[in-house]
Structure 1
Amino acid sequence: MDGFDAVVAAGTLRSSDPGAVRFPHRWTPEGVSVEAAFTGAHLLHLAAAGCVLNDVYREAEGMGVPVAGVRVVASGGFDPETWASTGIAYTVDVDSPVPERHVRALLQRVDEVAEIPRAIRAGAPVARVET
């Protein structure tokens, strides 16, 4: 099963869809827009997309790359028998006045440091704890 898309956007690339949910955001005064169904599959992808968006702003600041807007789409599938993830793929659009090579360098840095994608790549035990 594929197609569990999660879309997050901020700045000039925020969604104008009235169904998008809006959240405050540390780096943008208008906040972020989120387009995703409320299922476990979508939420997993939303975590990855949201982390990448945040890290674009954080790393851009450190690299001196001005960012007017960011849009991240994360999607993937699941094995229908086991519900194991078949992987997550994401795309990033960045609205910036700098040359494309600077944006590519920024996105390479983000891919290296984004915490949620790194955690998913590494794997982690998940356990229910009795309350």
Structure 2
Amino acid sequence: MTEFAVVVSAGSFQRDSPGAVRFPHRWTEQGVTVEADFTGAHLLHLSAAGCVLNDLYREASGLKIPIAGVRVTAHGDFDRGTWESTGITYRVELDSSATAAELAVLLARVDEIAEIPRAIRAGAPVSREASNAASNGGAL
């Protein structure tokens, strides 16, 4: 069973569930809703799902594909011994009057260019920057 599922929704797919948080969004007038727990694992998956949602709106605009709503669900798990990701899977639901062929082109394009999924697939390095030790709530 996979864990750490997140959902980002916009337009006709927005959610009003008690756990959904609404954020402003440059591509939609009503913003987006996010359903995710606040853990590092969920935030990793949320970054991929949010990037895909953003890029769907951006690329659809350029391709003149109308979008009434988008829902992106992302999930994955971690090896409990090493806490390395076992991978992320995302699913897209679109509300659009475009043809199936047009939507297939859009989905393929976004899967190829979405920045966060590309960075994760490439294995981006992450490092901690050294800082002066501080106490009483200061930065370390």
- TM (normalized to structure 2)? 0.91
Q: Percent identity?
A: 64
The number of residue pairs the alignment matches comes to 131
Task: Show the 5 A alignment for 1:34-53.
Answer: 34-53=34-53
AA aligned opposite 1:36: A
Partner of 1:122: 122
1:89 aligns with 2:64: no
Partner of 1:113: 113
Structure 1 range deviating more: 94-103 or 114-123: 94-103
Partner of 1:14: 14
- Which structure has more RCO (C-alpha within 8 Å, separation ≥ 6)? 1
Distance in 2, Cα, partners of 1:28 & 1:126: 32
Deviation at 1:100, TM superposition (A): 1.2
Distance in 2, Cα, partners of 1:31 & 1:44: 21
1:78 aligns with 2:78: yes
RMSD: 0.9
Where in structure 2 are there 5+ consecutive unaligned residues? Answer: 132-140
Distance in 1, Cα, partners of 2:19 & 2:83: 28
Task: Show the 5 A alignment for 1:55-66.
Answer: 55-66=55-66
AA aligned opposite 1:130: A
Where in structure 1 are there 5+ consecutive unaligned residues? Answer: none
For residues 25-73 of structure 1, give each alpha carbon's deviation from its aligned partner in whole angstroms, at most 9, with x where no partner exists.
0011110000000000000000000000000000000111000000000
AA aligned opposite 2:13: L
Distance in 1, Cα, partners of 2:76 & 2:123: 16
Distance in 1, Cα, partners of 2:39 & 2:2: 13
Q: Which has the larger radius of gyration?
A: 2
Distance in 2, Cα, partners of 1:35 & 1:4: 11
AA aligned opposite 1:97: S
Deviation at 1:2, TM superposition (A): 2.5
Give 3-state SS (helix, strand or coil) of 1:5's partner.
Answer: strand
Distance in 2, Cα, partners of 1:46 & 1:19: 15
1:54 aligns with 2:25: no
For residues 50-106 of structure 1, give each alpha carbon's deviation from its aligned partner in whole angstroms, at most 9, with x where no partner exists.
000000000000111000000000000100000000000000001001111111110
Deviation at 1:18, TM superposition (A): 2.4
